[in-house]
Amino acid sequence: MTPAREAALAELQARLPPGRVLAGDAEALEPWGRDESELGSFPPEVVVKVESEAEIQAVFEVATRHRVPVVPVGARSGKSGGSLAIQGGIALSTERLNRILEINPEDLVARVEPGVILATFQAEVEKHGLFYPPDPNSLELCTLGGNVAENAGGPRALKYGVTREYVLGLRAVLPTGEVIRTGHRSIKGVAGYDLTALLVGSEGTLAVVTEIMVKLLPRPRHVATALVAFADVGAAARAVSRVLAQGVIPRCLELMDDVSLAAIARTSPGRFPTGAGALLLVETDGNDEEQVFAEIVRVADLVAADARGEVLVAQGEAQRREIWEVRRYLSVNLKAIHPMKLSEDIAVPRSKIPEMVARAKAIGLSVGLEVATYGHAGDGNLHCNVMYDRVEERPRVDEAVAAILRAAIELGGTITGEHGVGLAKRDFLELEQGREAVALQRRLKAVFDPLGLLNPGKIFPPA
Ligand SMILES: Cc1cc2nc3c(=O)[nH]c(=O)nc-3n(C[C@H](O)[C@H](O)[C@H](O)COP(=O)(O)OP(=O)(O)OC[C@H]3O[C@@H](n4cnc5c(N)ncnc54)[C@H](O)[C@@H]3O)c2cc1C
């Protein structure tokens, strides 16, 4: 540690209660340097577990005086390296800011602190007969603060939208120490610039979010789930377009390609018709049981011409869970084939899904690696997983990833549909958005964080 950072640590230890400042123990700090991005280990020098806005202000005051970087950290389930302390410094953990402050059925809003785990929040909301739709597959781990920072999506985004659609307002501490309140408790509200929208998806680079006010919905009482096999991804993609063009909006339309299917078949042998090369998981929901079932039957009819074999419609909750396990354990099953993988989360216009899947496979072949593609086909958000066995293969993996990101941009899509730019994709932002738009974003960052101390090195490559 530099003398300035030693001094900052001493001040933090003096200002915060014992046990809430962690430093000097490399083994204890190491896990704080990792997330789910597989980008390596970047431990902070200090971890501070804050419990209030006043403590966050104190952290910024000390960090500013000694010019020490500060990185907000939720549950470290991020996949773009957003919480990694790439310049060392202070990891500001929200794990103790974990209270659900209010669930109000009358206004259909809730207020939470950022460290609340998403699954815990959803379960509490459901006790009131209400529903908070955003559902990243990491919901048992991730925090609402991390969801807001990454504007997280999930399988249900097709029908219900992503985190941004639910955030009505925020409280946040700026690196300058100012506390701001953005948004409103009403559904409508257009006063001033939309600072809430700016902070959602800002990946912990503009402010530390301390309170989140979200919109809730009445909980849909019935859900129907089905699994359909297809000869190939093209047939599955055609089926997706046909369903959506008929005005049926399922809450999920999850696609799995042939490599994914082969991985699943290892643990579920004989489950899928021979010759199947892609799967679609479809889910509909609503309050009228008959209508929800009729809707999934309509989907089954619409995809039947392209399908291979029977459409499997879940009969009851146990079968629904079984179908979802196919999707939830996919990542684990893929790792049984190749122990390592880098998962990209590009998004393309729906019509380009077959071409994107084909391009990802061809890119894999060109560098001698297998690529499995699955994801939220209904909204064009695909996870292209470049799989490998040995760390020495990593340069080829990076080459394939770069080519996949370029292909997504060429097809009119984006380098990230839900995981964020973070450290992983910062070199590609300008390719997607152009020099001027990135320069403007850098200037915005400087307005919030004049000294560049909050989560430096993320989203934008070094100048
Ligand atoms: C198995 C698995 C499945 C996943 N599935 C999905 C999916 O379906 N959809 C999806 O969108 N993502 C998915 N993710 C990615 C990840 O879970 C999300 O990005 C999640 O929102 C990160 O939350 P976190 O609490 O872990 O944040 P972290 O990883 O700790 O941090 C993420 C970013 O948020 C910032 N941050 C955290 N808290 C705050 C705060 N209070 N104020 C300001 N900035 C803050 C951090 O600085 C960092 O930049 C998945 C991850 C895994 C491991």
Q: What is the pTM of this model?
A: 0.95
Per-residue confidence at 245, pLDDT binned at 50, 70, 90? Answer: confident
Instruction: Report the Cα–Cα distance between both ends of the chain, in Å, rounded.
Output: 25
Whether 308 is covered by a domain: the verdict is yes
**Mean pLDDT across 85-108:** 98
**pLDDT tens track for 169-200:** 999 999 999 999 999 999 899 999 999 999 99
Q: What percent of the chain clears pLDDT 90, i.e. is strictly above it?
A: 82
Characterize the bridge pairing of strands 90-93 and 70-73: parallel
Structure confidence at residue 328 (pLDDT): 78
Q: How many domains does the chain have?
A: 4
Tell whether ligand 1 has an atom less than 6 A from the beta carbon of residue 82.
yes
Whether 293 is covered by a domain: the verdict is yes
Q: Is 301 found in the same domain as 376?
A: no
Per-residue confidence at 284, pLDDT binned at 50, 70, 90? Answer: very high
Distance 76 CA to ligand 1 centre (A): 7
Whether 29 is covered by a domain: the verdict is yes
Tell whether ligand 1 has an atom less than 6 A from the beta carbon of residue 257.
no
Q: Chain-wide mean pLDDT for the chain?
A: 94
Structure confidence at residue 269 (pLDDT): 60
Q: Is 172 found in the same domain as 88?
A: no
* Residues whose CB is less than 8 angstroms from the CB of residue 235 and which lie 6 or more positions away in sequence, other chains included: 278, 306, 307, 308
DSSP string, 226-265: EEEEESSHHHHHHHHHHHHHTT---SEEEEE-HHHHHHHH
Tell me which of 66, 96, 126 is where a domain ends: 96
Q: Is 205 found in the same domain as 227?
A: no
Q: Is 189 found in the same domain as 268?
A: no
Please determine, for residue 271, whether its predicted confidence score (pLDDT) is greater than 80.
Answer: no
Name which residue sits closest to atom 16 of ligand 1, judged by CA: 78
What is the extent of the structural domain holding 109? 100-218
Structure confidence at residue 135 (pLDDT): 94
Q: Is 43 found in the same domain as 22?
A: yes
Q: Is 345 found in the same domain as 312?
A: no
Structure confidence at residue 270 (pLDDT): 61
**Distance between CA 240 and CA 379 in Å, rounded?**
10
Which domain CATH number covers 72?
3.30.43.10
Structure confidence at residue 44 (pLDDT): 98
Top mutation candidate among 38, 142, 166 for ligand 1, by most atoms within 8 Å of CB:
142
Q: Is 169 found in the same domain as 76?
A: no
Distance 185 CA to ligand 1 centre (A): 25
Name the DSSP letter for residue 219: P
Residue holding tokens 């773009």?
80
Structure confidence at residue 238 (pLDDT): 86
